[in-house]
Amino acid sequence: MTPWFIATRPFTPDDGEAWNKYIKWSGLTQPEEVVSLDGKLCSTLLPDIRDGYWPHIVNEDFMLRYFLDFDSLMRQVEGIEKKNVFCVFRNPGERLGAPPVGRFEFLVMIL
């Protein structure tokens, strides 16, 4: 199973009115951050596909923002202080162990 990696912008109270609208809509009051792969809430930090990305990204439908090479992704976002970096396994058929690289906290997300 091949891991995919993506870097997104955090969605927090620092987002002002967008955050307030989300909290009002959701009815939640306790979140300090929303962690999501939903691009409307947590947009990708690399919205443009550069020529140098092609050997390092998933070349499949709408998945072009996902990197197959963790180090390549990290080089692209190293100067961005506030970010979330996800390691994603698409449709895992088995229980997953630790990601093969990096330091990640395990979250289960249903897409």
Gap between the Cα atoms of 69 and 42, Å rounded: 21
Query: For 32-80, what is each residue's pLDDT tens digit?
Result: 999 888 888 999 998 887 788 787 778 777 676 888 888 899 999 999 9
Confidence band of 102 (pLDDT split at 50, 70, 90): low
Q: Are 63 and 6 in contact (CB under 8 A)?
A: no
| Residue 109 pLDDT > 60 | no
pTM of the model: 0.78
